[in-house]
A = this chain, B = another copy of it.
Amino acid sequence: MIEGIGVRVDVVVLTICDGELSARLIRREREPFAGAWAVPGGAVGPGEELDEAARRRAGLVGGHLEQLRTYGGPRRDPRGRVVSVAYLGMIPCLTRPPWGGWFPVHELPPLAFDHGVILADGIERARAKLEYSSLATAFCAGPFTLADLRHVYETVWGVRLDGANFRRKVLSTPGLVEPLRRRSARIRGGRPAQLYRRGPAGQLHPAMLRPSC
């Protein structure tokens, strides 16, 4: 049953930094691709669940994590056969990176191995899942306004959404968000907005469709 195939996890971690959908990358220290950027990841430990391994290798304590796809081409790694179980993680908005390595997805450097494909697949999965799941709230830390949530959609999809229709859509989905008693403090004038937190709903029915389609 042992075949000399290595098993790794590689994790596409996305967040929104300063209004830009961004991915976390690390710089490789060893050959091959020494000095190139790559998605965080590493070998799966003995007795370790794949999900656990993904969280450990990505340093992802909280936040959303889901399996993305498995990449197993025989020539992916010049050192030998390596099958990589890729994951997609999402963490709340950051105003500044906690430690280096966040790249806006429009300004990605060349990546090692097939990590460019993995990252592209992860971004597309995130964009698709916003349509039919409540995953957008995973990008929001603590209480948020409907404008905050709308900005998540606008940033990830790269479109502008009508605030009025977005509000109706979100509030008409049972269990998507729950209102708090507080209102947001205003920064630059304007009426203070109602604050919300995540609701128990996981799926959206009907879906929030991307305007481009």
Taking CB atoms, residues of chain B closer than 8 Å to A80 are 1-2
A82 to B73, CA, bound (A): 18
Interface residues in A84-101 (C-beta closer than 8 Å to B): 85
A83-B81 contact in complex given A2-B6, A7-B7, A213-B205, C-beta closer than 8 Å: no
Encode contact with B along A2-15: 1 for CB under 8 Å, 0 otherwise: 11111100000000
Contact status A5-B72, CB under 8 Å: no
Taking CB atoms, residues of chain B closer than 8 Å to A207 are 207
Is A67 an interface residue when CB atoms closer than 8 A count as contact?
yes
Is A177 an interface residue when CB atoms closer than 8 A count as contact?
no
Is A69 an interface residue when CB atoms closer than 8 A count as contact?
yes
Contact status B82-A5, CB under 8 Å: no
Q: Of residues A2, A43, A47, which shows the largest number of chain B Cβ atoms within 10 Å of its Cβ? A: A2
How many identical chains are in the complex?
2
Chain A contact residues, majority secondary structure: loop
Q: Shortest CB–CB separation between residue A41 and chain B, in angstroms?
A: 13
A73-B46 contact in complex given A3-B6, A79-B1, C-beta closer than 8 Å: no
A73 to B48, CA, bound (A): 7
Interface residues in A1-43 (C-beta closer than 8 Å to B): 1-7, 43
**Which of the residues B73, B82, B209 comes within 8 Å of A49, measured between beta carbons?**
B73
Given contacts A2-B4, A70-B85, 10 further A-B contacts (CB under 8 A): A1-B82, A3-B44, A5-B6, A5-B44, A48-B74, A49-B73, A50-B83, A67-B69, A205-B213, A207-B207
